[in-house]
């Protein structure tokens, strides 16, 4: 059961900027726990995209960035490219579960 809410879909033309919101609660994002982001290309396993709110694993372009405020976080993709078409998930720790939770997922479409 997801307790982090994301928009089902966002879209943009190549080169544009899109953002994906991730809304949580006082037991996860609002409690100060880090938010992490994953990219899932069609038919593949999720891949870590951003961790600890601001860090990118080697190989992830700096077109991907995130921010966090209160009980929400956002992922921004600037200079949108066709290869960015994928599903994106946020994730955080939840103290009420003593475990982690995923967002509902957002499909990014490049027009």
Question: Residue 25, SS3?
Answer: coil
Between 13 and 45, whose beta carbon lies closer to other proteins?
45
Minimum gap (Å) between residue 73 Cβ and other proteins: 13
- The partner residues of 93 in beta bridges, in order of sequence, read 100
Minimum gap (Å) between residue 109 Cβ and other proteins: 16
Question: Residue 84, SS3?
Answer: helix
Question: Residue 88, SS3?
Answer: strand
Between 16 and 95, whose beta carbon lies closer to other proteins?
95
CA distances from 8 to 33, 89, 98 (A): 23, 11, 26
Between 16 and 96, whose beta carbon lies closer to other proteins?
96
The residue ranges that bind other proteins (CB under 8 A) are 1-2, 33-34, 36, 38, 44-48, 51-52, 57, 89, 91-93, 97-105
């Amino acid at each position: 059961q997801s307790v982090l809410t994301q928009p089902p879909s966002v879209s943009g033309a190549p080169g544009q900027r899109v953002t994906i919101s991730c809304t949580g609660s006082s037991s996860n994002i609002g409690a100060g726990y880090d938010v992490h982001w994953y990219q899932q290309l069609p038919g593949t396993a999720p891949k870590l995209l951003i961790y600890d709110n601001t860090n990118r694993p080697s190989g992830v372009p700096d077109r991907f960035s995130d921010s966090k405020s209160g009980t929400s976080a956002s992922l921004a993709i600037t200079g949108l490219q066709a290869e960015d078409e994928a599903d994106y998930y946020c994730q955080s720790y939840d103290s009420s579960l003593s475990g982690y939770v995923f967002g509902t997922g957002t499909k990014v479409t490049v027009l």
